[in-house]
């Protein structure tokens, strides 16, 4: 699992998170993505922590949290030296390697090693964000809203938020950014103060057959044997300001960097992780789980598969395009597996029935008290009614709300806009035409006709497969006289007529559409006009329905969470939102099914056992030689080198690159994955199945030093080992 929250996953999740959901429950053992201010309330000393909570997060001083940062591409990372050295995942540095690669030099395939700081490779488009302060400001934002409802409540909350944000920004240090964000439909409001560094460079990345060993077949799977790590470095201007890239910039000096402990782990050891998990929805209604399980997730799995396959076909046309799109394909394949596995996990957990049982308990609790009836009596009936109004055509809606897509179907999007503008009688002035032409030229700049053709074919097939009561009439009018392969061929011809057949090859051909009458458009492009006008009408209806849902749902979900928390007598941890979070757990294996038990550790011996000589299980010869000669240096354990391990820490996309730390706050691993049986953790945590998969820090350092011959990188790090007692004494220095 690539626990990076990337732009692809973000766009996919936006609609999903608005409608999908999970059960609301009292936190289970090891469950929780806690905000930093909650750490001191968790009683961690009794659970195995050997340092003070203030050593982890201290708003009034330096602490471990100051070393944990967020990468702009949606990952977590951490400072591991006083000279701005950063450790994160290989797949988090993937885009930087791709952007620097050429057909002659594919840094994903070969890896990259700087032999000095002068050779460190600019990571194009990368920056890092450091969290300086986190504060729960819920009481401040809610002040004066106790007796308000509707627009008056919304306006007061908006006013309070804007005023507090302005006040705090005025007091913030130069370069700091203040943001106040509502969480859980307004159950919480948090203030975040961050700073950004814009010059990031690649220091060392192992080759593909270490950093991506196992590829898609091993994705989400245990056992795992992947060296998913990369070293970066942060740079600033000579005067310390956060400048764009310049060869004159100098390494950043962080307030805190992590100490590395190579003393090893054993099953049952306490560990914790800090990072920037991207998004969860763990406190919502049963109707949303049902929508996610039966409609949204199955569609998303098919949608992402189609995008990946289409980009693969584009990559077949040239080596340059294969390199360009390999990161996108990897991300798509990852999230396709997420959405394919999540419905299985939801069914296995019987999540819908369990949530309905909790709602029945809530309804009985509400009815038992007149005051609760007055406050919460409408919540469950209104949620049920709203879902019934919103989801009657759910399988069709999930298709139509993604078509047209300006990125995937740029030509269709421009034709769509032009035909609807003419239908509505809009006449463009010369100035407006020039602006529109510039917009179209931008849309055409990087378009891939093969990608557009394949995605149009996908959407048309999905429409054809809709159940009888949800058919899209315009598609049926065009294609229902065909069956099977004949229908697929007719749909392909339609897709080609838009994406490839010369009708709309240039921006100038699109702009000419605005000068035609609607009758002329119908005569010249009858099928396209019929399809687009019907699509426009359906999308307008869908937009209105979704707007009504969005306008009503937050208030109901807020009341729902307040009522559930009151009934349970708890204050829940907030849903993840790409801000700094803490999670703890233990080194622990699991049983995926009857008669099978997984231990929590893998080694280099297991890497070699998987060797087939062919991608993605092609082990580098040098790794095999190092194992054969047992040339492990200080990083071996017995007859091999530890590679990956399991922990019960509660993570999600965005946690990629999060440090796993031992009870003394020393880094022992690097989060990079979750297990297949633990999918569905966007919506609920399952202590029996949910596991973090991490790279053992010893494998990170072993590969860097012994395989990569980059010992100079380790020399600037603080590396300690030995017994826990020694580690404790060292950490106190």
Q: Which residues are catalytic?
A: 91, 228, 656
β-pair type (260-261, 719-720): parallel
C-alpha distances in Å from residue 93, one per residue of 201, 290, 472, 691, 694: 10, 36, 42, 23, 17
Rounded to a whole number of angstroms, the CA Rg of the chain reads 27
CA neighbor of 601 nearest in space, from 290, 225, 48: 225
580 vs 98: CA distance, rounded Å: 28
CA neighbor of 247 nearest in space, from 238, 260, 257, 239: 238
378 vs 363: CA distance, rounded Å: 10
- Three-state SS sequence of 411-435: HHHHHHHHHHHHHCCCCCCHHHHHH
The encoded tokens of residue 5 equal 């929250």
The encoded tokens of residue 211 equal 């950093």
Cα angle 413, 419, 421; round to 5:
100
728 vs 268: CA distance, rounded Å: 18
Beta-carbon-side half-sphere exposure of residue 478 (alpha carbons within 13 Å): 25
With beta carbons less than 8 A apart as the criterion, state whether 100 and 107 touch.
yes
With beta carbons less than 8 A apart as the criterion, state whether 666 and 727 touch.
yes
Long-range pairs for 13-16 at CB < 8 Å and ≥24 separation? 13/278, 13/279, 15/296, 15/398, 15/401, 16/292, 16/296, 16/297, 16/300
Kindly report the number of other CB atoms within 10 A of residue 549's CB atom. 16
The encoded tokens of residue 465 equal 């497969």
Kindly report the number of other CB atoms within 10 A of residue 590's CB atom. 21
DSSP structural state of residue 587: B
Beta-carbon-side half-sphere exposure of residue 269 (alpha carbons within 13 Å): 22
Burial of 673 (0-12, 13-18, 19+ CB in 10 A): buried
CA neighbor of 4 nearest in space, from 389, 285, 360, 275: 275
With beta carbons less than 8 A apart as the criterion, state whether 225 and 214 touch.
yes
692 vs 590: CA distance, rounded Å: 11
Q: Which of helix, strand or coil describes residue 191?
A: strand
C-alpha distances in Å from residue 280, one per residue of 49, 400, 445, 583: 26, 25, 35, 14
CA neighbor of 128 nearest in space, from 9, 279, 234, 230: 234
With beta carbons less than 8 A apart as the criterion, state whether 126 and 94 touch.
no
Q: Which of helix, strand or coil describes residue 98?
A: helix
599 vs 544: CA distance, rounded Å: 52
With beta carbons less than 8 A apart as the criterion, state whether 101 and 323 touch.
yes
Classify the phi-psi angles of 271: left when phi > 0, otherwise alpha if psi is within -120 to 50, otherwise beta: beta
- Name the H helices within 71-205: 90-100, 107-110, 138-142, 150-171
Classify the phi-psi angles of 121: left when phi > 0, otherwise alpha if psi is within -120 to 50, otherwise beta: beta
The encoded tokens of residue 40 equal 């001191």
- Three-state SS sequence of 323-381: HHHHHHHHHHHHHHHHHHHHHHHHHHCCHHHHHHHHHHHHHHHHHCCHHHHHHHCCHHH
Q: Which of helix, strand or coil describes residue 293?
A: helix
């Amino acid at each position: 699992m690539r626990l990076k929250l990337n732009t692809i996953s973000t766009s996919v999740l936006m609609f999903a998170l608005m409608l999908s959901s999970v059960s609301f429950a009292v936190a289970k053992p090891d469950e929780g993505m806690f905000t930093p201010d909650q750490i001191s309330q968790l009683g961690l000393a009794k659970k195995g922590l050997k340092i003070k909570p203030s050593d982890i997060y201290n708003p009034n001083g330096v602490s471990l949290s100051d070393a944990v940062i967020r990468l702009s591409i949606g990952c977590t990372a951490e400072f591991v030296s006083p000279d701005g050295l950063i450790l994160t995942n290989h797949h988090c540095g993937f885009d930087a390697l791709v952007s620097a690669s050429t057909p002659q030099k594919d840094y994903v395939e070969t890896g990259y090693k700087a032999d000095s700081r002068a050779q460190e490779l600019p990571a194009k488009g990368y920056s890092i964000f450091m969290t300086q302060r986190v504060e729960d400001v819920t009481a401040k934002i809610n002040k004066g809203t106790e007796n308000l409802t509707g627009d008056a409540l919304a306006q007061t909350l908006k006013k309070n938020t804007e005023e507090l944000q302005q006040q705090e920004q005025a007091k913030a240090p130069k370069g700091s950014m203040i943001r106040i964000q509502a969480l859980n439909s307004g159950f919480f409001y948090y203030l975040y103060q961050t700073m950004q560094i814009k010059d990031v460079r690649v220091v060392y990345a192992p080759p593909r057959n270490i950093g991506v060993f196992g590829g898609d077949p091993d994705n989400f799977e245990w056992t795992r044997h992947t060296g998913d790590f990369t070293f970066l470095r942060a740079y600033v201007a000579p005067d310390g300001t956060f400048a764009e890239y310049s060869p004159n910039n100098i390494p950043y000096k962080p307030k805190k960097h992590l100490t590395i402990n190579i003393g090893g782990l054993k099953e049952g050891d306490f560990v914790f992780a800090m990072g920037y998990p991207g998004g969860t929805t763990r406190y919502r209604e049963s109707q949303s789980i049902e929508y996610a399980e039966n409609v949204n997730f199955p569609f998303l799995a098919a949608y992402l598969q189609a995008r990946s396959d289409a980009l693969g076909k584009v990559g077949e046309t040239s080596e340059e395009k294969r390199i360009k799109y390999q990161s996108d394909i990897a991300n798509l394949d990852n999230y396709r597996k997420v959405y394919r596995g999540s419905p299985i996990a939801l069914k296995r957990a019987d999540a819908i029935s369990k949530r309905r049982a909790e709602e029945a308990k809530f309804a009985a609790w509400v009815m038992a008290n007149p005051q609760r009836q007055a406050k919460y009596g409408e919540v469950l009936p209104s949620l049920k009614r709203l879902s019934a109004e919103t989801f009657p055509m759910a399988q069709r809606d999930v298709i139509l709300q993604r078509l047209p897509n300006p990125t995937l179907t740029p030509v269709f999007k421009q034709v769509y806009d032009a035909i609807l503008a003419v239908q509505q009688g809009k006449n463009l002035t010369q100035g407006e035409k020039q602006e529109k032409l510039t917009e179209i030229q931008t849309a055409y700049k990087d378009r891939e006709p093969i990608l557009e053709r394949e995605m149009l074919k996908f959407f048309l097939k999905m429409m054809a497969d809709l159940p009888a009561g949800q058919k899209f009439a315009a598609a049926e009018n065009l294609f229902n006289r065909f069956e099977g392969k004949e229908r697929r061929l007719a749909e392909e011809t339609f897709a080609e007529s838009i994406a490839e057949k010369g009708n709309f090859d240039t921006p100038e051909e699109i702009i000419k559409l605005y000068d035609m009458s609607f009758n002329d458009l119908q005569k010249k492009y009858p099928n396209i006009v019929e399809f687009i006008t019907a699509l426009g009408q359906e999308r307008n209806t869908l937009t209105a329905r979704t707007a009504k849902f969005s306008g009503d749902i937050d208030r109901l979900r807020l009341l729902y969470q307040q009522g559930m928390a009151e009934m349970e007598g708890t204050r829940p941890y907030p849903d993840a939102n790409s801000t700094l979070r803490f999670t703890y757990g233990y080194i622990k294996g699991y049983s995926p099914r009857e008669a099978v038990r997984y231990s929590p550790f893998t080694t280099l011996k297991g890497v070699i056992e998987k060797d087939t000589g062919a991608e993605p299980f092609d082990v580098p010869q040098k790794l095999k030689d190092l194992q054969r000669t047992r040339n492990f240096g200080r990083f071996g354990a017995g007859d091999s080198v530890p590679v990956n391990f399991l922990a019960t820490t509660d993570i999600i996309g965005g946690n990629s690159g999060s440090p796993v730390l031992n009870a003394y706050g020393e880094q022992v691993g690097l989060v990079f994955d979750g297990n297949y049986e633990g999918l569905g953790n966007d919506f609920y945590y399952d202590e029996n199945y949910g596991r973090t998969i991490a790279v053992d820090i010893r494998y990170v350092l072993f590969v860097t030093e012994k395989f990569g011959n980059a010992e100079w990188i380790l020399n600037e790090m603080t590396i300690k080992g030995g017994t826990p007692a020694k580690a404790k004494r060292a950490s106190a220095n």
